[in-house]
Amino acid sequence: MTRAFIGLGSNQNHPPEQLDKALRQLTSLSQTSRITCSPRYWTAPWGEPDQPDFLNAVAAIDTRLDAEALLQALLAIESNQGRTRNEGQRWGPRPIDLDLLLYGEQIFDQPELQVPHPRMTQRAFVLVPLLDLAPDLMIPGLGAARDYLKGLDQTGLRPAENATPSR
């Protein structure tokens, strides 16, 4: 079994329900077990600010699926929940976004599969919930995840149980 970490985000079609649905689908993946989810956080949108806030979390799974098969399963879950990928709009609104952040200690640098996720160290909305699950996490090839969080702006990151979306 390989421990993988998956980033989840949604800002359309009732985000809490979208995350719940994605987690149920992750639970039903073949050759996958032990799913743990971080607390959820409302965050300001990344890249394109004129859209609703996102609800974000990170899930940890143990899987026998290889990284490519897991990525394809994540894309299928997104599609099942109504996500359509628009090449011209990278950071727009979406019902669900699933990112393969880490896959064990492995590093992949392929056109369709980059792990560790290439922008995870730039995003507090990824690192905060990731560190909730694994406080001493080392990112393969990069070092301690907590060291990257120190330099990031965390304003706009609000625990979901104490906050509502601002838009």
Listed by start position, the domains of the chain span 2-162
CA atoms within a 13 Å half-sphere pointing along the CA-CB vector of 15: 23
Q: Which residues are catalytic?
A: 83, 94, 97, 99
Segment 65-77 shows an average pLDDT of 96
Q: Which 8-state DSSP code applies to residue 81?
A: T
Q: pLDDT band for position 94 (50/70/90)? A: confident
Topology of domain 2-162 in CATH is: Alpha-Beta Plaits (3.30.70)
The closest alpha carbon to 34, from 60, 58, 70, belongs to 60
- pTM exceeding the 0.95 threshold for the entire prediction: no
* Contacts (Cβ under 8 Å, ≥6 apart) of 19: 8, 10, 40, 55, 57, 96
**pLDDT top residue among 79 and 93:** 79
